[in-house]
Amino acid sequence: MEKQVSPLLPTVSKTAVYRKIPASYRYHMRLPIWRTLALLLVLVNTYAIPRCGLYSFFNTQPAMRNSQYRQPANPTESITQQREFTPSGQKSFTAVITWVNGSDPLHQQMRSIYVREAPHVNMVNRFRDLGELKHTVRSLQKFASWIKEIVILTSDYRHVDHGPGRGQVPIWLAELSSENEPVPPVRVIHHDEFFTNPRGSLPTFNSLAIESQLGNVPGLDEDIMLYFNDDTAVGHALQPSDFYSPESGFAFAIQSDLQISAFDRPPSIESSQGEWPALDWSNYLLSQRFGKRRRGYVAHSVKAFATPLLQELASAFPSAFRQTSHHRFRGMGHDIHTPFMAVHYVLEMHRESVLKYFVNNMLDENGDGIVDDREVEALLKLSRDADLVKGNGIPVREHGRTWDSRNGYPHMAVQPEAGNAWTYSDGTPPSLRQCSFSLDVCVPSVRSAQAILHHISREHIACGDCLLNTMARASGEAGVDSYLLQHTKRNVSSNPLAEISKYKYSLTSLSLSFLKLENDDCATWRSMELLAANPTAIICLNDDIYRAGAVNGIKSMLEVFFARLGLTNEGVAIKEFDACAPRSRPRRPILKDFS
């Protein structure tokens, strides 16, 4: 019986279909099944297993199985349910410390699984534990007991047979807890409790990836976060206002003499340069959003953040944060530097909020969205008023502060390319800063309020900086905020400066010591002796040990150093290193002439 063919469908032979396929594709159709399977296996092993966290299903070694993946408590809360930061009212403070013990055999076992993804960045000193964390915690309990809680962020175990433990826990923590109820208390949070995508991101050996997830740490929504690296300790008593106050906002430490370059195109990711590729990339992203300029290096010190602002930052640059969280090692792609971005995001958002308020509520006086010639004349009047007042700015020396956001932008660009600038650190008050607000340059031909705002805030940053400086001079010693309130003629919201207040900040000169630990020689010990005798507020002891034989010697030095700061138990002896103890030199024999 002949097969019936539908009259609606044309009859096409398999040969005809095959001939219509391009020749380059026909070759792959002839591949034997075993070649196809082999190719598929290579792709899965190269990409799917390491990047999607599938080792527990494919690894055939019993000791490496671990199918118990844990999800964070609220993996999407940080982005989809982010909260608004309210600067008013009393704030609690939580110290957050990132820590890893690279000497842990389980951590080394995990690292060996993934090291082939980036073998060139597997530097031992990035994971080595010199015992600093214990003294960091004790320094906080001694010199900053007003802190509500200390949170330690550390690695969870996965893809290794780890027994009952969830992840790394400092071995001395039980000893610390057995003491007389330490204040503040210590809590350990593992990476899988706050990473938004633990399956695709963990385990991670990249501190930049961990920092990209700081906004997701649970339980800190209402607190001011004081972010520490585990090589940072407190040297003497500190106050909450050293880091944040409702009046002045966040206190940041920025080195004006060390600038991050501005780029027109994405910079290199050369991994041998430490944190600088991440700083360059972060400044490139900030310049794309807020205008191209060089920005000051954020000091290697304690940083004050708020969880809602970190979440807001992640929402502003979602792709960059997501990509960084997936890089298990540095150098696998463009990484962001979250602390640098967070600090400068606050500076830039305060600047943008002031300019936005001025353009929308003062320059566009009638609120029609168009700035006419009469309203443009108000800019010239503002400049004349500023020349008459010439205020010196609000006092900023309290608590070691060197600049306040009410004085405008700290690094005022003089030229559009930001080739030079008035910087806060030279002590020049707003009244003596010189700039010229040219209508030809600073007011675009399109007179819409939004076009002018975009023009002065992003395209010609020198115009926006000069406008801020002009308002600061015209305000006398009241500050930019007061000037905006006094000169707003039309009705605005009940809390018109709410957005500006959210980004208040000051720049601080809190004393800081940064000591590179390179070798266990007497020169290193003498530097530590001097620092112990005159400790600064913040002490950073950076691991730059290049000789493995020096590790134990430096550990011994650190024990004595922290003992001299009073950060060890009473049973620890405060001793001198015999090898470095000063000795009187033997006198040369006197040679007499018996001739």
pLDDT tens for the chain, 595 residues long, are 444 444 333 444 444 444 444 444 444 445 556 566 666 665 555 455 444 444 333 433 333 333 333 344 443 343 345 677 777 677 899 999 999 998 899 999 999 888 887 766 656 656 777 888 999 999 999 999 999 999 999 999 988 887 777 899 998 887 776 565 567 999 999 999 999 999 999 999 999 999 999 999 999 998 999 999 889 999 999 999 999 999 899 999 999 889 999 998 999 887 556 899 999 999 999 999 999 999 999 999 999 999 999 999 999 999 999 999 999 998 889 999 999 999 999 999 999 999 999 999 999 988 899 998 888 888 878 877 777 776 677 776 555 788 999 999 998 887 655 456 778 777 787 778 878 788 888 988 888 999 999 999 999 999 999 999 999 888 888 899 989 988 887 777 767 889 999 999 999 988 999 999 999 999 999 999 999 999 999 999 988 888 888 888 999 899 999 999 998 764 455 555 556 766 444 445 444 443 4
The whole-number pLDDT of residue 245 equals: 92
pLDDT of residue 178: 59
The pLDDT assigned to 577 comes to 55
Q: 359 pairs with which residues across the strands?
A: none
Q: Which amino acid is at 370?
A: I
Distances 227 to 241, 429, 458 between C-alpha atoms, Å: 15, 31, 30
Report the distance separating Cα 449 and Cα 289, nearest Å: 19
Run of H or E including 484: helix 480-486
Please state, as a whole number, how many other Cβ atoms lie within 10 Å of the Cβ of residue 320: 21
How far apart CA 19 and CA 345 sit, in angstroms, is: 59
Residue 191: partners with Cβ closer than 8 Å, 6 or more residues away: 153, 154, 155, 156, 167, 198, 202, 203, 204, 210, 213
Which of 198, 200, 214 lies closest to 75 in space, CA to CA? 198
**pLDDT for the residue numbered 593:** 47
Question: Could you give the C-alpha distances from 99 to 121, 167, 207, 373, in angstroms and in order?
Answer: 18, 12, 9, 59
Backbone angles phi, psi at 589, to 5 degrees: -65, 145
Residue pair 507/343 in contact (Cβ under 8 Å)? The answer is: no
In whole angstroms, give the CA distance from residue 42 to residue 238: 56
pTM of this prediction?
0.82
Q: Is 41 exposed, middle or buried (0-12, 13-18, 19+ CB in 10 A)?
A: exposed
| CB 141 within 8 Å of CB 354 | no
User: In this structure, what token pair is assigned to residue 40?
Assistant: 């598929």
Contact 140, 183 (CB under 8 A): no
Torsion angle of the four alpha carbons 48, 53, 58, 63, in this order, in degrees rounded to the nearest 10: 150
Helix (H, G, I), strand (E, B) or coil at 481: helix
Start-end of H helices in 390-475: 439-442, 449-454, 461-474
Predicted pLDDT at 72: 42
> Mapping DSSP to helix (H, G, I), strand (E, B) and coil, where does residue 551 land?
helix
Beta strands of 499-575 (E only): which ranges? 505-508, 512-517, 538-543
Euclidean distance between CA atoms 101 and 78, whole angstroms: 27
| Every domain of the chain and the residues it spans | 349-508, 512-569
CB 388 within 8 A of CB 375: no
DSSP 550: G
| CB atoms inside a 10 Å sphere around CB 332 | 18
Q: Yes or no: say if 102 and 154 are a contact pair by the CB < 8 Å rule.
A: no
Residue 45 Cα distances to 66, 138, 534, 575, angstroms: 18, 45, 55, 54
Q: What pLDDT sits at residue 2?
A: 47
Contact by Cβ (8 Å): 364, 355 = no
What's CA 347's distance to the chain center, in Å?
14
The Cα–Cα gap between 497 and 494 comes to 9
| Residue 500 structure tokens | 């500006």
Which of 339-375 are b and which e, b meaning 16 or more Cβ less than 10 Å from the residue's Cβ? Answer: bbbbbbbbbbbbbbbbbbbbbbbbbbeeeeeebeeeb
Cβ(346)–Cβ(306) under 8 Å?
no
The SS3 of residue 321 is helix
Distances (CA, A) of 154 to 88, 314, 485: 32, 21, 47
Give the per-residue pLDDT at 436: 78
Alpha carbon separation from 305 to 265, 328, 442 (Å, rounded):
29, 24, 34
Q: What was the pLDDT predicted at 574?
A: 53
**In this predicted structure, what is the pLDDT of residue 180?**
59
Tokens encoding 133? 């964390």
Whether 99 contacts 230, CB under 8 Å? yes
- Helix, strand, coil share of the chain (percent; to 5): 45, 15, 45
